Every structure is written in structure tokens, then in C-alpha cells.
Amino acid sequence: MSERIQKVLAEAGVASRRAIESLIVEGRISVNGEPATLGQKIDAKDRVKVDGRAVRLTVKQAVTRVLLYKKRVGELVTRDDPEGRKTIFKKLPELESGRWIAVGRLDINTSGLLLLTNDGELARRLTHPSFELEREYAVRVLGEMSDEILHSLRKGVQLEDGMAHFDSIVPGDNEDGTGANQWWLVTLKEGRNREVRRLFESQGLQVSRLIRVRYGPIELGRGVKSGGYRELTPDEMNRVLTQVGMERDRKKAERKTARPKQRE
């Protein structure tokens, strides 16, 4: 049975549907030797290539997997770097089909929790603003935090790409913070480029350390070394799928499949 190319490639772990649409528009995807088109229907018999590399299409969708990776400062969330710097993808386990998709990004100077999945649709939902998944960060800030600044950061600040604010900002563990260096815990529901840093910088403050400690229902916790990873537990997987509606959609599909066909 043929399906839209965006859906098939997302399920194969190539990228999110939105990213696949961009690849198609850029002419980087071909089907049976011809440029792919938006909305084109394909099946497992078609020969699909992305940037000249063949994509393995299977009738049976791979089991959805999610990794929790603890990123180090200095590592890049990219597959290839022209400068030869360290990338997190070289450390990940191999997949029989598809590839790992990073859920959002962390810049080279940010550490902490990064989720990766082989399911393009799950990656899309986890990053789409409509699902409003909270991201929580521990931030060490250099500078004096006044009540006026706190009010501005909570209410909203005009950045170059629009208004932005923290959904919450509270003092963190300041045992190792001295003088002007203080830790804060902040949450927001967006994933704009360097948004946390830019918010503080807009108030004349400098971020000296930035660690993501939670993404949606998943916390960084302990037990994973820097530069290491682990699979989410069944309970964590259920919480992730439930929060973005995929567990509900899956049960609905199972009920539909199990429903006996009516005779003509």
C-alpha cells in the first residue's frame, strides 16, 4: 500500500515530515531516479535516495526507540562537521534501518539532556510548538538579578525574532555560586536558537554555564555519564507518547484494526 513520501520517510527515521518537505523542495530526494515531489505516494518497492544515499524502506515500521543522551560542552549536534569537531552521532548505536533524529538541538557550549529517536513523527511532535513541551535549564548567570529584571524575563522581552519570556524562573542551587555568579532554574516552551542565553543577555547578564535538565516529562537525573546515553524505560516511553498524543493514536488504530468487518 502506497503512502505519502513525507510519512514514509519520517517513519523510516530519515527526518521529521517538515524537514523532509524542505529536502524535497531543495531537490535532495529522488524516487526511482527522478526528483521527488511533495505529496508523492511511494511504497517499499520504490528506490528512494536522500543526497544520493539509498534509504531502506520496509513494510513493517521499526519499533519506536528514544535515547536519552547527556551532551558535553564542545560536542556538536550535527552529523558532519567540516572542521572535524566531535559530533554526538558518532557515539550512538547503529540502527537496522532509518537513522537517529535529534529532538531539538543544543549549541556547542550547552550541555545536558538531549533526546534522540528513530521515529520522524515523534520527533516532529516533540518539537512542534502546539504540544507546548516544557524545556527546563539550570543556568549560571554572571551579574546582578534585580526584581525589575526578573519581572521583565517573566513578562516578556523583545528579541530580534520576536517576544520571548520564561514561563518560570526561580533560584537554583547556589552552593557553588559566589558574588555575582548565581544559579537559576528556568523553563520555557519554545526551542528558538540560543533563546535562553539571548533572554539573559538582553538584560545585560552573562550566561557562564547552561545545562538542560528536563525535556517534557523526561528528566536528566543521574546514572548517565557525560557523553553517554541510555534507552528510555517503558514508563518513560509511555509518558512521552502520551504527552504528544501518539499513545492515544496508536490505541485508536489498534481498535480500528481489531474491529470486525461488516458483511456487504
Active site residues: 107
Cα–Cα distance measured from residue 31 to residue 47, given in angstroms and rounded to the nearest whole number: 6
Q: What one-character DSSP code corresponds to residue 67?
A: E
* Cell (9 digits) for 60: 513493517
Which of these, 219, 171, 195, 170, lies nearest to 110 by C-alpha position? Answer: 195
Tell me the torsion sign for CA atoms 92, 93, 99, 100: negative
**DSSP codes joined into one string, 29-65:** EEETTEE--TT-EE-TTS-EEETTEEE---SSPPPP-
Task: Calculate ∠ Cα 72-11-113, nearest 5°.
Answer: 20
